[in-house]
Homo-oligomer: A and B are copies of this chain.
């Protein structure tokens, strides 16, 4: 899932995202909560209509961003008080509020409001944090069950135009009355402790969600530890529900985790790296700012058939980046997204082929 923080994948128009084969994108509740605000999006019919995007959208709960604010936040049983990074205004998110906001935004998949346990955390802290996330998960589900009919698209939103043949793009849910509703996913926490992760998984499954995410990773721990925790957690998640690994990762990592049973991943890496001139290619990473590319007439990635590699030279891309031209960010992002999506298509064909 490419990241479209503020209801836009930075620099890439929606028709180009469609052409790239993006089937689902992630948008950030925290950012949309501040700008343009949930009421605006709700009144405009929800995120899909607001950003003119018919395919699937997932919103995170805002928890991860709020916890990243460090000095600006205060956690209590009730929720998290924080100050906006934009204007310092006092704000509050709780399980109920985060769910309310996500219902208002109207994404296809929404996430439970969890506490992302920091790294490192000792055993006691990891347990306390996990228990809080479990209590919050129940509150999210209760709120959701009571309010799920309040989506801005009512029962009017049709299943998206995208084909849902691929298991990794979950179908929109239908509730008891047959109305289409959002899917609320639970999140497994538990720090880096396998036993806690297992317990978190079991108790989250007990609450019951249509999909499960593995959260609290990519928070500074070594890559090997991430892998260990992911693999040991995956075992305890039902294979017939989408399993979503949050915030991962490099092309190699997404290929590895997809083959290990992860169904969904999101990461800012392809888009953020692109804006910093770091490009992923079949021959490895290319830092396009380097002077060695100044007169390099070859395509960025000769094995790539994206619009950028078909048309422009490394020399031109290097010039655009060095001259701080807007087009550098557009073209670099298009290429990196294509590279990630092509990687996933390849992995899926491997999986289908056994």
**Which residues of A come within 8 Å of B, CB atoms?**
6-15, 35-36, 40, 43-44, 50-52, 294-295, 297, 307, 311-313, 315-316, 319-320, 322-323, 325-327, 329-331
- How far, in angstroms, from A10 to B328 measured CA to CA in the complex? 9
A320-B8 in contact given A52-B311, A52-B312, A330-B13 (Cβ < 8 Å)? yes
- How far, in angstroms, from A295 to B11 measured CA to CA in the complex? 22
* Complex contacts, A13 vs chain B, CB 8 Å: 307, 327, 330-331
The 19 sampled A-B contact pairs (Cβ below 8 Å) are A6-B325, A7-B316, A9-B327, A11-B11, A11-B327, A14-B311, A15-B307, A36-B315, A36-B319, A36-B323, A40-B319, A44-B295, A44-B313, A44-B315, A50-B316, A50-B319, A326-B326, A326-B329, A326-B330
A323 pairs with B52, CB closer than 8 A: no
* Complex contacts, A51 vs chain B, CB 8 Å: 316
* Complex contacts, A12 vs chain B, CB 8 Å: 327
CB nearest to A320 among chain B residues: B8
A10-B50 in contact given A295-B40, A322-B36 (Cβ < 8 Å)? no
Q: How many copies of this chain are found per oligomer?
A: 2
- How far, in angstroms, from A323 to B15 measured CA to CA in the complex? 21
* Complex contacts, A312 vs chain B, CB 8 Å: 52
- How far, in angstroms, from A307 to B19 measured CA to CA in the complex? 14
The 3 closest A-B pairs by CB, nearest first: A11-B326, A8-B327, A36-B319
CB nearest to A35 among chain B residues: B323
- How far, in angstroms, from A306 to B315 measured CA to CA in the complex? 31
B10 pairs with A326, CB closer than 8 A: yes
